[in-house]
Amino acid sequence: MSFSLPSSTAQLADFLQIPSGEVFALLVAISFAAGLNVYATVAALGLLARFGHLPLPSGLQLLGNWAVIAVSCVLFGIELFADKIPAFDLVWNALHTFIRVPVAALLAYRAASQLSPGHQLMATLLGAGVALIAHGGKTAARTAVTPSPEPLSNLSLSLGEDILAIGLTWLATKHPYVAGAVAAALALIILLLIRWVIRAMAALFRAAEQKLAGG
């Protein structure tokens, strides 16, 4: 059954207070997907909205514009290759710390545009936090795999991240509770490994800085 937004502003105003609500689950799933691959997530949301599978809130109607979809698809195509080049992917992912998290926060902010300022701020922080956790987990896994001399593990991990981002976005439109639960479980696992994630983030930026200095 496809996801549908609450019909009234009053219903929307309550969604952040109801952890089991469909909108809350959708927000968690989409933010996690954006933390993995923001271009794939935005493109998937736009295409799903364009073909009537996901009614977007007014603040996100722009995602259904063909120009936005086209740009997102082009950027996704670039990332599809750039993220799979050993060593260069370290620089790419380090730079995207400043893209994935802010864009996820913006998506959450715009999605909650009909809420009170306080609730909109909560939605924004939630989106940014979940995206940061997802990006941190992606970074930790990538930092562990990239030093491997063979390219297959790096390629497989990157493809898995792309598939998970797109699949989670699609699943959120069909079964928001399931998608939200999957994203929340993955986020919890990453949080339990937070020390490893922090070390991996630090190592990522050091490696990226060295690659840029050497280049």
- 161 in a structural domain: yes
List all residues 6 or more positions away from 203 whose beta carbon is below 8 Å from its beta carbon.
Answer: 143
Q: Per the confidence metrics, is the pTM higher than 0.75?
A: yes
List all residues 6 or more positions away from 80 whose beta carbon is below 8 Å from its beta carbon.
Answer: 162
Cα distances (Å, whole numbers) of residue 186 to 15, 19, 93, 189? 22, 17, 19, 5
List all residues 6 or more positions away from 163 whose beta carbon is below 8 Å from its beta carbon.
Answer: none
- Cα 169 to chain centroid distance, Å, stands at 9
Cα distances (Å, whole numbers) of residue 6 to 20, 114, 134, 206? 14, 11, 27, 46
Check residue 4 and give its pLDDT: 46
Number of domains in the chain: 1
209: containing domain: 23-214
**Amino acid of residue 127:** G
- 8 in a structural domain: no
- 6 in a structural domain: no
Distance between CA atoms of residues 184 and 180, nearest Å:
6
pLDDT tens per residue across span 67-84: 999 999 999 999 988 887
pLDDT tens per residue across span 133-185: 999 888 888 777 766 666 677 788 888 999 999 999 999 888 889 999 999 99
pLDDT tens per residue across span 86-137: 777 778 888 898 999 999 999 999 888 777 888 888 889 999 999 999 998 8
- 5 in a structural domain: no
